[in-house]
Every structure is written in structure tokens, then in C-alpha cells.
Amino acid sequence: MSESEPCEPSDVHHAATIRWGWGPMQDLVERAALVAAARSQLGRELKEAQVKRELKAAQDFFELAKNASSPFMRAYYRRVAER
């Protein structure tokens, strides 16, 4: 095929298949796998961050329960911390 001849889509696909393995779909599959892995990692990081925030809040409420002036407030802070 010379530069003056029009390029057929099948020629381009064939060239891509030879050059990149099993064609343009490989790039899409690889990108999808990377996105899935990133989402999974992000999900774990978000859950870990949420657990850390909840533990910190529980510690803060237990501290408030220890230092509360009335039995009602001690019981309230303890119940909130145990959630």
C-alpha cells in the first residue's frame, strides 16, 4: 500500500493486531483492570480512614464520660462511645 492509496479500516486493525498483540481491546482490558485495582485500593483506604475516625471519636467520648459532672452525662457519653 502506498501513501496515495486510501487506508482500509481492516488494514489498520490488522496492523494494530500484529503490533500490539490481540488488538485495541487489550488496552481497554488493561485499563479496566487498573481502574478496578485502583477502586479496590481506594475503597480499602476509605474504610481504614473511617475506622480510624470512629475509634478517635469513641476515645474522645470515653474521655468525656470519665470527666462528666453528672451521672446522666456520663451515661450519655458512654452510650455514644460504645456505638
Q: pLDDT digits over 36-51, tens only?
A: 888 888 888 888 999 9
Span 53-74, mean pLDDT?
A: 91
Q: How many domains, in total, are found in the chain?
A: 1
Q: What is the reported pTM?
A: 0.51
DSSP label at residue 2: -
17 in a structural domain: yes
3 in a structural domain: no
Residue 70 has a pLDDT of: 92
Examine the pLDDT at 4 and tell me if it is beyond 90.
no
Residue 44 has a pLDDT of: 86
Examine the pLDDT at 2 and tell me if it is beyond 70.
no
Domain that holds residue 20: 9-82
3-class DSSP state of 3: coil
Span 49-67, mean pLDDT?
A: 91
4 in a structural domain: no
Rounded (10°) angle between helices 24-67 and 71-82: 160
2 in a structural domain: no
